[in-house]
Amino acid sequence: MPTKGEKQKTMAKQKFVYMFEEGNEGQKELLGGKGANLAGMTALGLPVPPGFVVATTACVKYYDEGKKFDSNVEKEVFECVAKLEKKMGKKFGDASDPLLVAVRSGSRASMPGMMDTILNLGLNDVTVEGLAKKTNNPRFAYDCYRRFIQMFSSVVMDQDKHACERVIDEVKAKRGVKEDTDLTVEDLKEIIDRFKSDYKKDHPEGFPQDPKEQLIKSIEAVFRSWDNPRANTYRFMHNIPYNWGTAVNVQSMVFGNKGDTSGTGVAFSRNPSTGENKLYGEYLMNSQGEDVVAGIRTPHNIDQLEKENKKIYDEFASIAKKLEKHYKDMQDMEFTIEEGKLYMLQTRNGKRTATAALRVAVELVKEGLIDEKRAVSMIDPKQLDALLHPQFDKNALKEAKDIAKGLAASPGAAFGRICFTPEGAHEAWKKGEKVILVRVETTPEDIEGMVAAQGILTARGGMTSHAAVVARGMGRCCVAGCGQLIIDEKAKTCTINGKKYTEKDSISLDGSTGCIYDGCLKTEEAQLTGDFGTIMAWADKFRALKVRTNADTPKDTERAIELGAEGIGLTRTEHMFFESDRIGPMRQMIVAKTEEARRAALEKLLPMQRKDFIGIFTVLEHRPATIRFLDPPLHEFVPQDEAGVKNLAKDLGMTFEEMKATIDGLHESNPMMGHRGCRLAISYPEITEVQTRAIIEAAIEVKKTKGFDVVPEIMIPLIGEIKEFKFLKDVVVKTADEIIKNSDVKIKYMVGTMMEIPRACITADEVAKEAEFFSFGTNDLTQMTFGFSRDDAGKFLEDYYAKKIYEQDPFQTIDEIGVGELVKTAVVKGKAERKNIKIGVCGEHGGDPASVDFFHRAGLEYVSCSPFRVPIARLAAAQANIRNPRK
Ligand code: PEP
Ligand code: MG
């Protein structure tokens, strides 16, 4: 432990603000992604406008101190301002040649557009004149000033951002001009005066004229934007911890709006949609920063820059290659051209579609830039989901005629009812409806609606617009910049190519071609590319965890095997009884009053279940299969409405009243903790007997007819006490051994249990005396550990996220601290008792990459997940083993 004196010394040494040249690209935690890369590019000698970074630690301190700006941090900021002034030969607030800066957020993980940016900071009533004279361009100077007031008012002071736009529109209307660029110096002055007097109405002290005050207020605003609703939603979606905080980059301004030899753009070193190794991007001449990203004006393709200004294009292309080589990944870069000189404002690893991610990774290996391990590590496993998404059915497409076309911004196929507002989309999603969010353009405030929609259609904006970038990141289908779409947001209508649509109509979007269709088109499953197979094969080489699937039918099993499943980790046998021809005998069994009646019903179910197992074992060939006995509360199978009860009574020769009383008798106040799992079989062991027969007879049959050595793993659910397990194991063993003894082929089987109740985990050494395997049922284990119902938690968990009590859904990503501790305890105790005990997981967490990483570290043998998550789990398992290799 450091002494008090030492502590003070280290605290005194803590540094919060770094000039770009003081940092390096490895310091993402401290400087944020943008800051670290600006430092990295500076070190590479690239043309980066000088600046400094206020570290993430300063943001954390700001929040720790109750949102108060620390005086030491402030001191450091101004020390860096002084250094910057020296470098630039300009002074902050100088009346003749002012230093102007951009203030931008930049957290450890990139969160495009989620936080705030302020440009042209340092302008005031005096410096604007100095800038006008110095540049000999008054129009430019006043345009910068009006932009600055606009950004500062909305971002820093939370004023209504549309108020400023309305002022501009009014002045344009008065002058009879359409474009911002048509406004004269006098017009801009009028706009500035009106902005300032509107500002004064809310803030009597008036628009701040002191650049130092402007700067500190802006840095604080960026800190605050870390906690704005859209940043919180984005963090939640991407598991980015709240306590990371954001850094703030303060960079001297270069201007893309200085006239026709200036411009600004965004480009990727490879195509972010397809992965093709070709510069890809957009730019706009005579424009500033946000114009391109925000999608307000439709920009030009970067290829045109080659024709317009070959020298700049070549310089940029060579920087792009250099950066790729250096960062060993595809780059997403922002640049500005100021009077014919190129400046790099940002570089980061580019967000990309799943298809592009695979292609880029495979090609980087071929190009010798990275090795296979790195290729496997650079793909976000969750992104694979997008590859497995449906496309439109080829025949349906042949018959359909597109009504319009936009940019193919993010691939996949989607259909749904039109929704013009993010709120509307979110509401519809809550009701389980499929919707397409239709917007003029999206802004970060739309994030909830974008999450809720199947697809996103915008009238404006390019491939790097907010809608496109965010949709790609989410794997959501998106068609952007559709010129034939005209939206009347107020009336909630739009016309697409002249035809009117309302929120009652549905459309279909093809995010891979940009086509828009009337109505709902049939979709088909995705085709996987060759790159997918290459990456998966590499992943399989590196992983230690096996990956199984949760499947209840031969068809699901087949699909899962195609996707790389190595066996079944969970067959939920109750799922086999929902079909119309089975529900009858199942209900008969449930309402049976005597063992005899129950056995009669079970005899009808036996052949159906045996047939299912034969099908599954046949598809599996020699692969393992864990089959779980009946689990859910019985009332789920019986009708609750009067007509249904009447019908069932008639079918089973009972009176309505008798049947109603029987069904009412099944009612439980807390079914999740009621008569389910092994408790059912303890009351009615004949269920276990018959299910064992179905499994063992099926295994014998498959062995006889196909020669496959199936070793069924019979799994008893929801045990909390070893005696529960022992009681049922005895029934299984007696039944199974008898069948095997009377058969002419010999088969092996295992009996194990699910670990779903904390008591079972704590007593795992006892349980392992009898159980030959454990499978963690982390859905129930989470429910039972937290003590909240998995059916109802959704209703109140939102409040927990809003209040930051939980940062993620514990039913999606394992709670390592609590539930994880139980898992670890059970693994250690189980292995201590039975050295070779098989241990896996079959709860939903088995397909969640962060949870897979935990299960790897906890020493499990396999994870099991739904078929479509198998590739995700394979990749996540490889990444887990690359991060923490198993001995
Ligand atoms: C579990 O509880 O994690 C599990 C796999 O079982 P079920 O979801 O069927 O309760
Ligand atoms: Mg369960």
Helices 71-88 and 211-225 cross at an angle (nearest 10°) of 120
Q: Would you say the pTM of this structure is higher than 0.85?
A: no
Alpha carbon of residue 163 to chain centroid: 34
pLDDT tens profile 706-758: 999 999 999 999 999 999 999 999 999 999 999 999 999 999 999 999 999 99
Q: Please give the single-letter amino acid code of residue 75.
A: K
Proximal ligand: closest to the CA of 775: 1
pLDDT in tens, 35-78: 999 999 999 999 999 999 999 999 999 999 999 999 999 999 99
Q: Token pair for residue 35?
A: 């800051």
User: What are residue 487's phi and psi, to 5 degrees?
Assistant: -115, 135
Asked if the model's pLDDT at residue 386 lies above 80, the reply is: no
CA distance 458 to 437: 8
Q: Which atom of ligand 1 is nearest to the CA of 631?
A: 9
Whether the Cβ atoms of residue 499 and residue 464 lie closer than 8 Å to each other: no
Which residues neighbour 150 within 8 Å (Cβ) at sequence distance 6 or greater?
161, 164, 195
Least confident of 60-64, 225-229, 791-795, 860-864: 791-795
Residue 424 pLDDT grade (very low, low, confident, very high; cuts 50, 70, 90) = very high
* SS3 of residue 805 by DSSP: coil
* Residue 732, burial from CB neighbour count under 10 angstroms (0-12, 13-18, 19+): buried
Mean pLDDT of 478-496: 92
Q: Looking at ligand 1, which residue's alpha carbon is closest to its atom 6? A: 777
> Whose atoms come closest to the Cα of 777: which ligand?
1
Q: What does the block give as tokens for 678? A: 């092994």
State what percent of residues in the chain have pLDDT above 70. 95
Per-residue model confidence (pLDDT) at position 295: 53
Q: Are 844 and 779 in contact (CB under 8 A)?
A: yes
Contact indicator for 119, 256 with CB cutoff of 8 Å:
no
What 3-state DSSP class applies to 751?
A: strand
Per the CB < 8 A criterion, the answer to whether 269 and 323 are in contact is yes
pLDDT at 53: 98
Helix axes 56-64, 71-88, angle to 10 degrees: 150
For this structure, is 842 an active site residue? yes
639 CA from centroid of ligand 2 (Å): 23
Question: d(Cα 163, Cα 173) in Å, to the nearest integer?
Answer: 15
Residue 62, SS3 per DSSP: helix
Q: What DSSP letter does each residue of 670-687 carry, written as one string?
A: SGGGSS-THHHHHH-HHH
Q: Which atom of ligand 1 lies closest to the CA of 780?
A: 2
Q: What distance, in Å, lies between the first and last C-alpha atoms of the chain?
A: 33
Structure confidence at residue 7 (pLDDT): 44
Protein residues whose CB sits closer than 6 Å to any atom of ligand 1: 570, 572, 631, 756, 777-780, 842-843
What is the tens place of the pLDDT at every residue in 160-180? Answer: 878 888 999 899 999 998 877
| Token pair 């007997």 in the structure block, residue | 689
Backbone angles phi, psi at 570, to 5 degrees: -160, 120
Of the ranges 57-66, 337-346, 399-408, 854-863, which one carries the lowest mean pLDDT score? 399-408
What are the angstrom distances between the C-alpha of 7 and each of 61, 65, 71? 17, 19, 19
DSSP 551: -
Active site residue 482: no
The residues, ordered by sequence, that sit 6+ positions from 447 with a Cβ below 8 Å of its Cβ are 114, 230, 233, 234, 422, 470
Residues present in the chain in total: 887
Which of 570, 678, 780, 860 to mutate for ligand 1's pocket (most ligand atoms within 8 Å of CB)? 780
At 736 the pLDDT is 98
**How many Å lie between the centroid of ligand 1 and the Cα of residue 415?**
31
Q: What average pLDDT does the segment 760-771 reach?
A: 98
Q: Cα–Cα distance between 486 and 459 in angstroms, integer?
A: 7
Burial 340-359 (b: 16+ CB within 10 A, else e): eebbbbbbbbbbbbbbbbbb
Write the pLDDT tens digit of every residue in 219-265: 999 999 999 888 888 888 788 888 899 999 999 999 998 888 999 99
Residues with CB under 5 A from ligand 2 (ion): 756, 777, 780
**Chain centre distance of CA 51:** 32
- Taking the C-alpha atoms of residue 471 and residue 511, their distance in angstroms, rounded to an integer, is 10
Ligand 2 center from residue 824 Cα (angstroms): 18
What is the band of 89 on the pLDDT scale with cuts at 50, 70, 90? very high
pLDDT at 472: 65
Q: Please, is 178 exposed, middle or buried when counting C-beta atoms within 10 Å of its C-beta (0-12, 13-18, 19+)?
A: exposed
Please identify which residue in the block is written with the tokens 């860096």.
80
Residues 6 or more apart whose CB falls under 8 angstroms from that of 755 comprise 761, 764, 767, 774, 775, 776, 777, 781, 823, 826
Instruction: Measure the CA–CA gap between 649 and 853, rounded to whole angstroms.
Output: 51
Rounded to the nearest angstrom, the distance between the alpha carbon of 779 and the centre of ligand 2 is 6
- What are the CA-CA distances from residue 886 to residues 776, 796, 855, 862, 881 (Å)? 20, 39, 12, 13, 6
Other beta carbons within 10 angstroms of residue 452's beta carbon come to: 22
445-463 mean pLDDT: 85
* 435-439 and 455-458 beta bridge pairing: parallel
- Alpha-helical segments (H) within 226-309: 229-237, 290-293, 302-308
Q: How many CB atoms lie within 10 A of CB 830?
A: 23
Tokens representing 311? 């020298």
Mean pLDDT for the chain overall: 91
User: Checking DSSP bridges between strand 546-550 and strand 568-572, what pairing results, if any?
Assistant: parallel
| d(C-alpha 472, C-alpha 450), whole Å | 11
Lowest mean pLDDT among 236-240, 300-304, 674-678: 236-240
Any long-range contacts for 700-703 (C-beta under 8 Å, 24+ apart)?
700/739, 700/740, 700/743, 700/745, 700/747, 701/610, 701/614, 702/614, 702/617, 702/618, 703/745, 703/747
pLDDT band with cut points at 50, 70 and 90 for residue 286:
confident
The one-letter amino acid code at 500 reads K
**How far, in Å, CA of 714 to CA of 729, rounded?**
9
What is the rounded distance in angstroms from the CA atom of residue 45 to the CA atom of residue 326? Answer: 12
**Top mutation candidate among 626, 631, 789, 848 for ligand 1, by most atoms within 8 Å of CB:** 631
CA angle, residues 218, 191, 124, in degrees to nearest 5: 40
Name the residue with the closest Cα to ligand 1, atom 9. Answer: 572
Distance CA 670, CA 672 (A): 6
320-330 pLDDT, tens digit each: 999 999 999 99
pLDDT band at 475 (very low <50, low <70, confident <90, very high): low
Q: List residues bridging with 118 in a β-sheet.
A: 103
Give pLDDT, residue 441. Answer: 84
Identify the active-site residue in 842, 845, 856, 865: 842
Residue nearest atom 10 of ligand 1, based on CA coordinates: 780
Q: Which of 779, 813, 865 has most ligand 1 atoms within 8 Å of its beta carbon, as the pocket-test mutant?
A: 779
Quote the crossing angle between the two packed helices 580-591 and 595-620, to the nearest 10°. 140
C-alpha closest to that of 822 among 882, 760, 770? 760
The preferred substitution site among 550, 552, 568, 570 for testing ligand 1, maximizing ligand atoms within 8 Å of CB, is 570
Confidence class for position 33, pLDDT limits 50, 70, 90: very high
**Confidence band for 158, pLDDT divided at 50, 70 and 90:** confident
Asked if residue 742 lies in contact with residue 763, where contact means CB atoms within 8 angstroms, the answer is no
Overall average pLDDT of the 625-633 stretch: 90
Task: Name the E strands within 397-492.
Answer: 404-405, 407-410, 413-419, 435-439, 455-458, 477-480, 485-488
- CB count within 10 Å of CB 554 equals 18
Set 466, 478, 494, 515: catalytic member:
466
Average of pLDDT values for 509-516? Answer: 89
Q: Which tokens sit at 876?
A: 């996540």
781 Cα: distance to centroid of ligand 2 (angstroms)? 8
CB atoms within 10 A of CB 10: 10
Q: How far is the CA of 800 from the centre of ligand 2 (A)?
A: 24
Query: How confident is residue 294, by pLDDT bands cut at 50, 70 and 90?
Result: low
Report strand pairing: 712-716 vs 750-755: parallel
Which has more confidence, 802 or 521?
521
In degrees and rounded to multiples of 5, residue 304 shows phi and psi of -70, -25
